[in-house]
């Protein structure tokens, strides 16, 4: 019986049990003929590739002790004999868990359980791959306007073994995605104007069967106003901090729209219970005060009217901040 331990050298394992090669390939060790890879211990390889060493040992020991001609005949591997293994053999025999940054983790938490997701502007495909890996969604379509991000998304899907449940579309926005192919749509990391343009070009998103998770990078107030003015209703708004930056994530569906005041457009409709709301308001106040101070030294003919307008807006947001602080005991 072959016994493989944490300190067993990978080259030694491959010499006596070459049938274990696909397992090592599946965790990202794609150069098993290289001396550096063959010279690592199992534990060292797991540390480099972010793998649970006990899971890997269990799988490798099981495979090493299956019936194979190599068990009775020691083989030496000098080149790249593992290049012939199929892609399916390289897929994750050992679960390698993808880690999301806080912004994407927040978006993931808002995707309905069991959804068929369309991820627009997928980039590396981290969001749909994580959701598939954790059994949160049934399937995913990853779309991007550029070919390179889609290639990255395909690579991510292969690495984490979820390719069979993903489709990849090279297109702007939702141009090559049909309404019946998804019931949840994520559009994140784009400007508010870009997001509303994508939705305008796909009027079927206005159907009540689709849940939209939107994370604008800029023009957040513009997107809020547009959504409310075009028959979308807000289910939730959530603030998340990622790398010292605050982001807001909308969850909306088709429904009765509503008119927003300028203060509502800036500060949100459903954020007053969010623990980061006070900081969010403070950031808006800093920007508004800077704008007012800039107007004060300008030569614009209507600067007094503009300053008065900004001061009214500042006063309203300060009032909201005071109410929030009082309600939260700060």
Q: Is the pLDDT of residue 68 over 60?
A: no
Q: What pLDDT sits at residue 97?
A: 75
Q: Is the pLDDT of residue 249 over 80?
A: yes
Report the distance separating Cα 330 and Cα 324, nearest Å.
Answer: 8
Q: Say which CATH topology domain 102-265 has.
A: Rossmann fold (3.40.50)
Whole-prediction pTM: 0.71
Q: Is the pLDDT of residue 27 over 80?
A: no
Q: Is the pLDDT of residue 126 over 90?
A: yes
Q: What pLDDT sits at residue 81?
A: 34
Neighbours of 70 (CB within 10 A): 15
User: To the nearest whole number, what is the mean pLDDT of the chain?
Assistant: 86
- Residue 185 belongs to what H/E stretch? strand 184-190
Q: Is the pLDDT of residue 71 over 50?
A: no
* Domain spans, the chain: 10-90, 102-265, 283-327
| Per-range mean pLDDT, top range of 30-39, 203-212, 314-323 | 314-323
Q: What pLDDT sits at residue 106?
A: 96
Q: What pLDDT sits at residue 64?
A: 87
Residues near 265 by Cβ (< 8 Å), separated by ≥ 6?
221, 222, 224, 225
Tens-digit pLDDT profile for residues 159-186: 888 898 999 999 999 999 999 999 999 9
| Residues found in the chain | 330
DSSP 103-159: HHHHHHHTSPTTEEEEEET-TT-HHHHHHHHTT-EEEEEEEESSHHHHHHHHHHHHH
Tens-digit pLDDT profile for residues 275-313: 999 999 999 999 999 999 999 999 999 999 999 999 999
């Amino acid at each position: 019986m072959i016994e493989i331990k944490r300190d067993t050298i990978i080259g030694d394992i491959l010499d006596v049990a070459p049938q274990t090669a696909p397992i090592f390939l599946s965790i990202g060790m794609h150069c098993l003929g290289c001396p550096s890879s063959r010279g690592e211990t199992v534990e060292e390889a797991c540390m480099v590739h972010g793998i649970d060493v006990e899971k890997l040992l269990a799988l490798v020991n099981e495979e090493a002790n299956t019936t194979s001609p190599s068990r009775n005949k020691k083989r030496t591997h000098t080149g790249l004999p593992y290049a012939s293994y199929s892609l399916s053999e390289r897929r994750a025999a050992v679960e390698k868990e993808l880690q999301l940054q806080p912004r994407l983790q927040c978006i993931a938490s808002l995707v309905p359980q069991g959804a068929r997701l369309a991820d627009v502007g997928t980039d590396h495909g981290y969001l749909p791959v994580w959701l598939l890996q954790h059994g949160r969604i049934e399937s995913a379509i990853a779309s991007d306007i550029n070919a390179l991000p889609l290639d990255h998304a395909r690579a991510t899907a292969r690495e984490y073994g979820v390719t069979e449940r993903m489709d990849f579309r090279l297109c702007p926005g939702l141009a090559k995605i049909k309404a019946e192919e998804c019931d949840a749509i994520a559009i994140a990391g784009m400007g508010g104007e870009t997001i509303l343009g994508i939705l305008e070009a796909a009027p079927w998103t206005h159907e009540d069967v689709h849940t939209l998770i939107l994370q604008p990078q800029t023009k957040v107030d513009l997107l809020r106003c547009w959504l409310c003015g075009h028959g979308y209703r807000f289910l939730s708004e959530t603030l998340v901090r990622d790398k010292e930056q605050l982001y807001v994530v909308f969850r909306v569906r088709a429904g009765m729209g509503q008119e927003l005041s300028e203060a509502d457009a800036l500060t949100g409709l459903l954020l007053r219970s969010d623990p980061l709301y006070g900081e969010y308001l403070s950031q808006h106040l800093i920007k508004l005060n800077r704008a007012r101070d800039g107007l004060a030294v300008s030569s614009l003919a209507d600067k007094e009217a503009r300053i008065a307008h900004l001061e009214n807006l500042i006063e309203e947001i300060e009032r909201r901040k005071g109410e929030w602080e009082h309600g939260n005991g700060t």
